[in-house]
């Protein structure tokens, strides 16, 4: 097995379980410990992993900035499918949707075939392509592409979103803090998400359980500004309380 294939397998394994021992990893890759050590050294030099005593773990920051989109598609794959199925309950024939460039929003797309007359506005280039192959009318924001996530940002993308109004926006972020703030390491992607939130009637966050309780560099908004949160598990009581307070105050 060539190095580039081993690299992909190592990263996919770490996306699934985040940390692993060198002994277990060598067995799963069918390689010697010296070969594995050299592979891990290369991945650590790239900033993709962190080596620990007797093992290694994923560099979480690299998941945002350095690991390509097709690797990140594997992260919490089952969780994202669960969320996508729940998202369908919010969609109706003829809706205008906005989807950010996240893998969580992308996972919804293959399930949209049963709806009629949808229009989707998205900052995800891969999302736009898949929609096109399914025959679903869509508008790509265009703009500057982030090569890692294959999503668009910048002035052109912001301008495109500002020209449209949507029934619902589905989006994600890297963390949902205990005090109810949505955060991400990408300031530019958050800026575009704010524009989408501004131009959508209904705002729905896609947030799997591993993101809850975490806080990152840039704040997007507070849960009190949302209409719904979709997760793969039951939401913590403190988040539900914040959402309930929003619903009560809006009456």
| Closest-CA residue to 87 (of 72, 108, 68, 73) | 108
Measured CA to CA in angstroms, residue 139 lies from 31, 100, 133 at distances of: 46, 12, 14
Question: Residue 251 — very low, low, confident or very high, per pLDDT cuts 50/70/90?
Answer: very low
For residue 26, the model assigns a pLDDT of 94
| Domain at 3-62, CATH from 3.40.50.2000, 3.90.1150.10, 1.10.10.10, 2.30.30.60 | 1.10.10.10
Write the pLDDT tens digit of every residue in 128-166: 999 998 999 999 999 999 977 789 999 999 999 999 999
Write the pLDDT tens digit of every residue in 203-227: 999 999 989 999 999 999 999 999 9
Pairing status of strand 166-171 against strand 200-206: parallel
CATH topology of domain 72-249: Rossmann fold (3.40.50)
Write the pLDDT tens digit of every residue in 35-71: 999 999 988 987 889 999 999 998 876 555 555 554 5
Q: Is 74 exposed, middle or buried (0-12, 13-18, 19+ CB in 10 A)?
A: middle
Considering the chain, tell me which residue range(s) the CATH 3.40.50.1360 domain(s) occupy: 72-249
| DSSP-derived 3-state class of residue 181 | strand
Neighbours of 54 (CB within 10 A): 8
């Amino acid at each position: 097995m060539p190095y580039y294939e081993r690299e992909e397998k190592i990263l996919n394994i770490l996306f699934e379980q985040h940390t692993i021992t060198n002994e277990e990893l060598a067995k799963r890759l069918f390689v010697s410990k010296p070969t594995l050590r050299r592979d891990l050294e290369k991945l650590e030099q790239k900033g993709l992993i962190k080596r620990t005593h007797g093992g290694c773990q994923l560099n979480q920051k690299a998941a945002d900035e350095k690991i390509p989109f097709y690797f990140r598609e594997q992260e919490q794959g089952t969780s994202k499918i669960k969320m996508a199925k729940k998202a369908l309950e919010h969609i109706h024939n003829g809706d205008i949707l906005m989807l950010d460039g996240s893998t969580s929003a992308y996972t919804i797309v293959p399930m949209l075939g049963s709806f009629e007359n949808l229009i989707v506005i998205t900052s995800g280039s891969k999302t736009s392509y898949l929609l096109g192959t399914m025959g679903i009318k869509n508008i790509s924001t265009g703009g500057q592409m982030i090569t890692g996530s294959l999503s668009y940002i910048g002035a052109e993308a912001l301008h495109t979103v500002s020209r449209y109004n949507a029934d619902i926006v589905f989006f994600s972020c890297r963390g949902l803090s205990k005090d109810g703030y949505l955060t991400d390491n990408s300031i530019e992607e958050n800026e575009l998400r704010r524009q989408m939130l501004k131009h959508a009637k209904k705002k729905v966050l896609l947030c799997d359980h591993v993101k809850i309780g975490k806080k990152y560099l840039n704040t997007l908004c507070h849960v009190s500004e949302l209409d719904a949160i979709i997760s793969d598990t039951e939401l913590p009581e403190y988040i539900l309380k914040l959402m309930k307070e929003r619903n009560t105050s809006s009456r």
